[in-house]
Structure 1
Amino acid sequence: MIQLTALSGLGQVAADYDVLLCDVWGVIHNGRESYPEACAALTRFNETSGHVVLISNSPRPSSDVVAQLDQLGVPRSAWRAFVTSGDATRAELSRRAPGPAWAIGPERDAPLYEGTGVLTVKSGDQASFISVTGPYDDTTETPEDYRDRLTPAAQRGLELVCANPDRVVQRGDRLIYCAGSLADLYESLGGRVVMAGKPFGPIYDLALKEADRLLEGRLDRSRVLCVGDGVVTDVLGANRQGLDCLFVAAGIHGDQARGPDGMVDVDRAQALLAAETAHARYATLDLVW
């Protein structure tokens, strides 16, 4: 087992890496505002050490999410490439075209389907599979609101494509449910689920392809560091890929790993990881230089 080391900042290990595969929501913004110190740390890495590839479980194509980053004040200098679960999921959708797909999620996620050839419907009665980007209304709904609707689909044997494996994310000072929580419910009902985002391989294939492009074909996986706050997505994804990981222990975990000195408590951080049979090389509370 890798020994977890507490860092005071990314600068302590930046020289050891050419690429950061950095999570977005919970690490560089909370859905309402960006984190200036995290953005500054990524910018400095780009300027002095290597390349930052943002790797997000957003269910929308990366090209559609860039505007959101701009609006939240994430500077373009903080990243060199961007891949999303939506990017990776589009291939799964295209393989199932024309569907139709019962598209569960808010209207803002409609760009996911553009160009895939998939027709979308609003119920499972006429669908050949289900595609979930999140609850229709993530401000009020919980997975339980979908139990009665999803049960007949599971009984019919419809496959569910989950475009965002995250179970929850932080929005401001609240945690909101994501598509992953609906996928968990569907599996509990006996349904089959397919995911391409973190921690699954397809999104890492895309991200490492971007990293190799930035490095002009000189990618060395031993010099890639994954950064994220989600144990079952970011950390387990890094573990499955055999990549080093910096666990940002605040994020969705709040103060659970905060020590009495205000710094990350290694034992508490290790407990969060061990609960999911995950491991990381480094831990910090927040991403700073």
Structure 2
Amino acid sequence: MVTGRERACVLISLFVFSGASVDCGLQAPLSRIVGGANSVEGEWPWQASLQVRGRHICGGTLIADRWVVSAAHCFQDERLASASIWTVYLGKYLQNATSHTEVSFKVIRLFLHPYYEEDSHDYDVALLQLDHPVIISTLIQPICLPAPSHLFEPGLHCWITGWGALKEGGSNVLQKVDVQLIQQDICSEAYHYMVSPRMLCAGYHKGKKDACQGDSGGPLACKEPSGRWFLAGLVSWGMGCAHPNHYGVYTRITQVLGWMNQTMS
């Protein structure tokens, strides 16, 4: 059964925050995803944990000083559709402990893509507006958004991060795993042509490495030769977790940028 990874339970490489130019997509100097490993604290400074009443539900990605992007399917249950119930954590590393680096935000507005389709997971993207601006540091900063023309080539190795299940069925420590971008026609055939142009596939033919429940909405991040990380996709759906010939399917960011920029402006 094809499901989302979790149910119920820019165009420029510099962003401007409070009058100061701050780089995006740069990792700090550094002294439960299937097949992954523990990340290092501060390694993924754009990673967000989206929680309801203290429980991690989905992942998200900081893209501007008051905006986090996630997957629309995280909010499709009517009990999760209200912005006011959500708390966003940035700078978080452990789920069962509070880090000195983490900051929490309430969500004041929640936007789901108007073309989002629950059954097909097409246009699976949502934007959360935070109640106050993020203070940007090396440990909390936005990822870079690609230009609409940006090509993430098949074969490129990118990374997924999150606190999702380590096997089908959460991890306490933020996990990371490398995945390979898959040619669109190959993935579409594997999923009986249910993969739309708004989707991007990543993983391996043999499986073993993938996102899973709880990782939904989290980033598929790709590092460019410049050393900056760009957001290529959002964890959206798949057939099980890390099964052979069933890749992870992600919302393709370049295809929903227009709506994102319009919503945030």
- Which band: TM-score by shorter chain? under 0.3
Q: Which is higher, the Rg of structure 1 or of structure 2?
A: 1
Query: Relative CO higher for 1 or 2, CA cutoff 8 Å, sep ≥ 6?
Result: 2
The structure with the greater share of residues assigned to strand is 2
The structure with the greater share of residues assigned to helix is 1
TM-score, normalization by structure 2: 0.28
